Each structure stands twice: as structure tokens, then as C-alpha cells.
Amino acid sequence: GRSDSCAPSSSKACREKLRRDKLNDKFVELGSFLEPGRPPKTDKAAILIDAARMVKQLRGEAQKLKDSNSNIQEKIKELKVEKNELRDEKQRLKAEKEKLEQLMKSMNAQPSFLTHPPPIPAAFAPQGQVPGNKLMPFMSYPGVAMWQFMPPASV
């Protein structure tokens, strides 16, 4: 509405008035951005003070967000390293598990006709040896253990 009173190609005073009117409109718009929902301020100094306060506040928040972003990026790098370590450990454990499974299969695949040796009878057990140990004397004659005829140092 204000620009209707002066034509754009008129005198210097009219052009100056149009410029001031534009500035005033921008101040009103800035005031409405700073405090939405409240009636716009008409005091230019108050609008500029509020704008400067808001800019400082936004710069502070932006710096906090940059710092937070840097911390998060560092945390992401640490977690990626940990993830790679865990992946490597998982692969190692998986390979070890497969080796153990193959070992178990090979142990189960051995022929079952080999019997466990009988325990040594108490009468033939050397001194200090508990009967039932896995050692079995070599029998050269039925019922006579060969170790009885060996020197004690060899036994």
C-alpha cells in the first residue's frame, strides 16, 4: 500500500521513501520471526537487539552440535574398529569350531574293535601306583608281568 503513493521513476524523495518502507517491512518481518505468535515490535533497536541475541544463541547451539557431531564420529570410528575385531574373532572361533568338529568326527570314525586295556591287577601294580591306572604290563608268559624281571631303574 505504501508504494502506491510514489511511482518508481519519480523523485529522489519518493525513492528514499520506498527504501525506508522496504526496510520497515523487513524489520517487522524480522520481529515476527524472532518471536512468533507475539505482536510484532515496532522499535527497530529492540528488534536488532533480539536478532543479535538470537544469532549468538544459534551460533552457540551450532558449535555444540559440531562438537557433538565430532564426538559421535569418533565413537563411530571406535565402534567400527571394535566391530572388525569382533568379526575377526568370530571367524577365528568359527574355524576353530570346525577343526574341533572334524577332530571329533575323526575320533568317532576310528574302528571300534580296539578295546580299552584292562586295569593292572593290584598284585601286579608297582609300588606307589594305584590299581586301575591305564598302564598295562606286557605279558610274555600267561599271568606273569614282564616288568617284574626288569631292573628297577628301567621300570
Rounded to two decimals, the pTM is: 0.47
> Could you tell me if residue 84 is inside a domain?
yes
> Could you tell me if residue 19 is inside a domain?
yes
Neighbours of 135 (CB within 10 A): 11
Q: Which domain holds residue 49?
A: 13-108
> Could you tell me if residue 8 is inside a domain?
no
Per-residue pLDDT of the chain (155 residues; tens, 9 = 90+): 454 566 656 789 999 999 999 999 998 888 888 887 777 667 889 889 989 999 999 999 999 999 999 999 999 999 999 999 999 999 999 999 999 999 999 888 765 555 556 665 655 656 655 555 555 555 555 555 666 667 777 76
Q: Helices (DSSP H) in the chain: which residue ranges?
A: 12-34, 44-108
User: Angle formed by the axes of helices 44-108 and 12-34, to 10°?
Assistant: 40
> Could you tell me if residue 153 is inside a domain?
no
> Could you tell me if residue 135 is inside a domain?
no
Amino acid at 65: L
> Could you tell me if residue 142 is inside a domain?
no
CATH code of 72's domain: 4.10.280
> Could you tell me if residue 137 is inside a domain?
no
> Could you tell me if residue 44 is inside a domain?
yes
User: How many structural domains does the chain have?
Assistant: 1
Predicted confidence at residue 35, as pLDDT, reads 80
